[in-house]
Structure 1
Amino acid sequence: MELLIQLLERLLQAVLQLFLNPFYYIGILFIVLHYRKQVQMERKLFHTKLHSLLDESWRTVLWGWVGGISASVLMLFAGVTVQADVIVLLWAISIVLLIIRVRFLCLAYAVGILGIAHAVAAWLPNIASLQETVPMLDIVVRADIPSLLIIVAVLHLLEGIMVGYQGTRMATPLFLEGKRGRIIGAHQLQGFWPIPLFLLVPLAGGSTGGLPWWTLLDADLASGWSLLAFPAMIGFTELTISKLPRIQTRQSAKLLYLYGMIVLGAAIVSNYWSPVIIVAAVLSIGLHEALISYNRWVDAKQSPLFVHSSRGLMVLSVVPNSPAEGMGIVTGEIIHKVNGHKILSKADLHAAMQLNSAFCKLEVLNEQGEVRFLQRGIFSGDHHQLGIILAPDQHALYYVEYRPLHLFSYLRSKLTGLLSNDSTKPM
């Protein structure tokens, strides 16, 4: 009972630290700007919004807390420890990386760089005297790299869970210019979560004593311990032209699980055999880049999925709470016939719907090529296409030019109306 009270006291102190930490609010601001721009882009491309700024923002923060508390409990029993000055250094490294590329806002890169610097510093002659004269070098040498690598591993395992369960709802349809100049449909899958972590901090000369349970890392907390709030960010950004969003997110989640398990294993080994630290640090960066490159390579070598064909018009997305959603139409299906007339163009669709202004009968081909028969009354105020967002044709007014951005371009895009990581161009 005394231990529980002690934990609660330190947890309340850590929560207060979190609410006073500006980095946590920077993360939330980043997310709000991201969803704000996403809604603006949807209105520009489709004249409607597919996501709600308020709903997505509070849901993201809420799930960040659920994930953060779960990960914190796991790392508490693993014996993961951090130091406050190491956390500040990690955020400094992250900000520098963010200036280079927005996608580098990931702990895997900052911890990997710190781990490599830690291993190199251990080889320097007269390291003890250098630590006294160079404060930053002292922080690097004292950093508990195995613990930091376990944080990276756990966060990516958590990210895999988030992507697997929530990634599809965050999919945004796009119009892109294909390799041969043809306008094709695509889906941008983006999600970011601010994760509040509460981690153990060793105290020199403390009076709390060590932890009363065995820890995986055999943490040295005999002199005392406390809890430190560590605001972290996890997130993913992918673009797919060849897969349905639910399939892409499922595959991405599996790769994140694999990455997390490999880094976790390397971190545990490095805790008991320090020469492995540099290998684990390089894996933290290298495997993360390999994961991104693999996804892009697999997607690029396949044929575009979201294009029209002789079978009908491809459904790129469906507006939430629309008649199409009520009828059960989903992304990836093909509108084959409307009111008995075969559909080969948007003009055909509009003409067929005008044949009966009060009722609509659809023949839809599902993912397996099977025909589904749907029907619904048409009411005043309904979307002119029942809420169906079709893949683009060559008459699309706008398409998206996708390119990586550095921090300043990213912020300018958020504040001036351009799309993050891309820009809309008129046809």
Structure 2
Amino acid sequence: MEWLIELGKGIGKFFLDPLLYFGVLYAIYLGYIRVKRERSNFHVRVQDGWFEARTYLSKGLLLGFVLSIVIFAVGFIIPLAFVLTVSAVTVLFALILKPSVLSPAYTLGVSFFLVMAIYLFQVNVPIFQESFNHIDSAVIPGVALLTGFLLLAEGILISRNAKQHTSPKLIRSKRGLNVGIHETKRLWMVPLLFLVPADALSLPFDFWPIVPVGDQSFTLLFIPYWIGFANQIRSLHPSHSLQIHGKKVFLLGILVSIVGAVGFWVELASIVGVSIAILGRLLISIRQYVRDNGQTYYFSKNQPGIVILDILPGTPADKMELKIGEVIKTVNGVHVQTEQEYYEALQLNRAYCKLEVIDDNGENRFVNRALYEGEHHELGIITFGMENQWKKDVS
């Protein structure tokens, strides 16, 4: 019964945590700036403005549940001072308005070293000093392992969710031409259940699940932890690029988890594990940026036709199962190379449409479908005809 009461309190504290609602506002902001940019570039938005908020509230729930079970089964206890520090660092990083800095490697890593500095230099923390007084070691065992676990979660979310519904964007190339890229900005809420001592906030070295014994007091704290991600994809298909990115983050999470587990016995391993997380996550982002800048743009293919930059959900193009990155070669039997030719060819038959497209493997395929009154007159394709763009730029 006592466990059920404490669990209920923990869930109650979850809904009282300002981070939960601050995250909703942050996700709404991400949706607002995306829709504003898409309308500026293409006069239409792809996903509605609430897409990021729905993603924030739903896509991290299962992972949070699984991680909470694992954390509880491992049995390590997180000091309340560290939880408060992570929350403060998360809010400060959120003010930068760049979701990429909200990776667990950065929020947990910075919090880890910040708590170490507060302990070693005896820094006074207003309001929350009592929580910091109960820390009995500069190195908190379990933080590196927790960072590794959350990097695993980030890798999964990037591979499975961030690659879905990326946003098209127009930028200027080094030659001054408009080129198409894809961008993704996500914020996921991963609810985590921690066992936090309510009186003596020291960390025991017994890793098995802890139950209340005698006069021992504890708190089950449910927190809405954030995982943020942002990426621009230029040289690869968006889905393929983010699959690679997510795999690298996942592998980094495995490495950090292994090193972090050793930290329960060797304090230096915890420091090494968190350092690997920060430097490794930074290196993954830098390598991806350098690779993209050194290669040609994926949506500037040198072949005749109209490159499909994106597809509006629920439109004829979506129902015809056209894919991002495919090239429209002919429309109703007419070869097209510019957006104007594409639109004119569509008007040749307003009741039926037949397209010849070139897929990612360079193979031709034909798709066709009857068109009905009220459906999108341009099939719902966001096109990117390079020849047409060049004509616009030089006119």
TM-score greater than 0.5 by the shorter chain: yes
* Corresponding residue of 1:300: 293
Alpha-carbon contact 1:202-1:221 (below 8 Å) kept: no
Q: 2:351 is matched with which residue? A: 358
Deviation at 1:360, TM superposition (A): 1.9
Amino acid at match of 1:333: E
Q: What is the CA–CA distance in structure 2 between the aligned matches of 1:81 and 1:236, rounded to whole Å?
A: 27
1:261 to 251, 254, 266: 254
Are 1:156 and 2:148 matched, yes or no?
A: no
The partner residue of 1:285 within 274, 278, 284 is: 278
AA aligned opposite 1:113? V
Q: Would you say the 8 A contact 2:180–2:299 is kept in 1?
A: yes
Residue 26 (1) aligns with residue 22 (2): yes
SS in 2 for 1:53: coil
**How many percent of aligned residue pairs carry the same amino acid?**
26
Which among 268, 274, 297 is matched to residue 275 of structure 1? 268
AA partner of residue 164 (structure 1): S
**Alpha-carbon deviation of 1:146?**
2.9
CA contact (8 A) 2:311 2:381 kept: yes
Distance 2:13 2:298 in 1: 48
CA contact (8 A) 1:90 1:110 kept: yes
Q: Secondary structure at the match of 1:194?
A: strand
Cα 1:302–1:221 shift into 2, 3 Å: farther
- Closer/same/farther in 2, CA of residues 301 and 8 from structure 1, 3 Å limit: farther
Q: Which amino acid aligns with 2:255?
A: I
CA distance in 1 between counterparts of 2:134 and 2:363 reads 62
Q: Distance in 1 between matches of 2:65 and 2:261?
A: 22
Counterparts of 1:378 and 1:97, CA distance in 2: 48
**Cα–Cα, structure 1 residues 92 and 59, in superposed 2: closer, same or farther, change >3 Å?**
closer
Distance in 2 (CA, whole Å) between partners of 1:259 and 1:10 is 35
Equivalent pair of 1:147/1:267 in contact (CA under 8 Å): yes
How many residues align? The count is: 384
| CA distance 1:342–1:384, shift in 2 (3 Å) | same
Runs of 5+ consecutive residues of structure 2 not aligned to the other structure = none
Match of 2:42 in 1: 46
Aligned residue in 2 for 1:403: none
Cα 1:185–1:132 shift into 2, 3 Å: closer
How far residue 204 of structure 1 moved from its aligned partner, in angstroms, is 4.2
Q: TM-score, normalised by structure 2?
A: 0.86
- What SS does structure 2 have at the residue aligned with 1:52? coil
Cα-to-partner distance string for 1:337-365 (whole Å, 9 max, x where unaligned): 11212111112212222222332221111
Indicate conservation of the 8 Å contact 1:306/1:314, yes or no. Answer: yes
- Give the secondary structure class of the aligned counterpart of 1:383: coil
Aligned-CA RMSD value: 3.2
In the superposition, relative to structure 1, how do residues 75 and 362 fare at CA in structure 2: closer, same or farther (>3 Å)?
A: same
Q: Would you say the 8 A contact 2:64–2:192 is kept in 1?
A: yes
Specify every segment of 5 or more residues in structure 1 that has no aligned partner in the other structure, as ranges. Answer: 398-426
Instruction: Please tell me whether residue 341 in structure 1 is matched to residue 334 in structure 2.
Output: yes
SS at match of 1:156: helix
Report the AA paired with residue 229 of structure 1. F
Rounded to whole Å, the distance in 2 between the matches of 1:9 and 1:22 is 22
Instruction: Say whether 1:241 aligns with 2:234.
Output: yes
Change (3 A) 1:119 1:276: farther
8 Å Cα contact 2:28/2:49 also seen in 1? yes
- The equivalent residue for 2:9 is 13
1:116 to 94, 113, 116: 113
Aligned match of 2:162 = 167
Equivalence for 1:228: 221
Matches of 2:353 and 2:97, distance apart in 1 = 48
Please tell me the residue identity of whatever aligns with 1:77: A
Shift of 1:61: 0.6
